[in-house]
A = this chain, B = another copy of it.
């Protein structure tokens, strides 16, 4: 049996999504679902999160079919987390209409014994107190801890969010979150602030516009993939994060060159995710698909 290499933790729930291209109700969503499916393309992955009694069991089979270890999945007697959102003409921005934490609020932020010594952890957006508790429940700090956050927590628990960023080897966030967290319109400046906090790398996700990698010595800008058939951008950022850590874990190479490759592969995975609602397309993506799309990224970016 393949050993688990990556722990992906985050929210799991049921979404109601409306985009200019259609709408769906009660489909699986949450940061951990997208991120673990994306990570599993490259590395054996365990998913940590919390679901309610109403979470459709047949949907868990999708994760099992991808070899995802579900032994860290917690089930409680609540309803599952619910998120209702819509996207307007600017599909980069999700407008939240309803959020109920439900089962997510009951999550025990404790890494199970069998995963306490893993080297690769992605903790997706969550309450930052829970992120920190989860991180300190590892026996030793993972070699690569990738963090994420969201505007809600930046508004309500800014200091804790900064602690998470400080603890991260690679801190991910969206462009609007980076601007908000460091109170600057300038992304390059916000990235410098992240690096000052001690994170080795800052990765700023810009939705359809690609993403930016900054370290103290370098900068990489990854283009966005020119998708003609976007259906739903929900989970693209999480798919990016999951694929990114899965790729790093599969290569065990933290050179800047390989980080750039990880970012392009992660961008490719995220672009597939936008082609369907929920994780229908994402759960079908193979390594070969990713390789082919990475070739296109190369073609599209060269001059």
Report A's interface with B, CB cutoff 8 A. 20, 88-91, 179, 185-189, 191-192, 206, 208-210, 212, 214, 219-224, 226-228, 230, 257, 260-261, 263-264, 297-298, 300-303
Contact = CB atoms under 8 A, between A and B. Distances in A.
Main secondary structure of the interface of A (DSSP, over half): mixed
A257 B299 CA distance: 11
13 contacts: A88-B185, A186-B228, A209-B209, A220-B300, A220-B301, A220-B302, A221-B224, A260-B302, A260-B303, A261-B303, A264-B303, A298-B303, A301-B303
A300 B222 CA distance: 9
B263 A185 contact: no
Given A221-B301, A263-B303, A303-B220, A185 B226 contact: no
A221 B219 contact: no
Given A90-B185, A91-B185, A303-B261, A226 B209 contact: no
B260 A89 contact: no
A226 B230 contact: no
A302 B187 CA distance: 20
Contacts of A224: 221
A220 B300 CA distance: 5
B230 A186 contact: yes
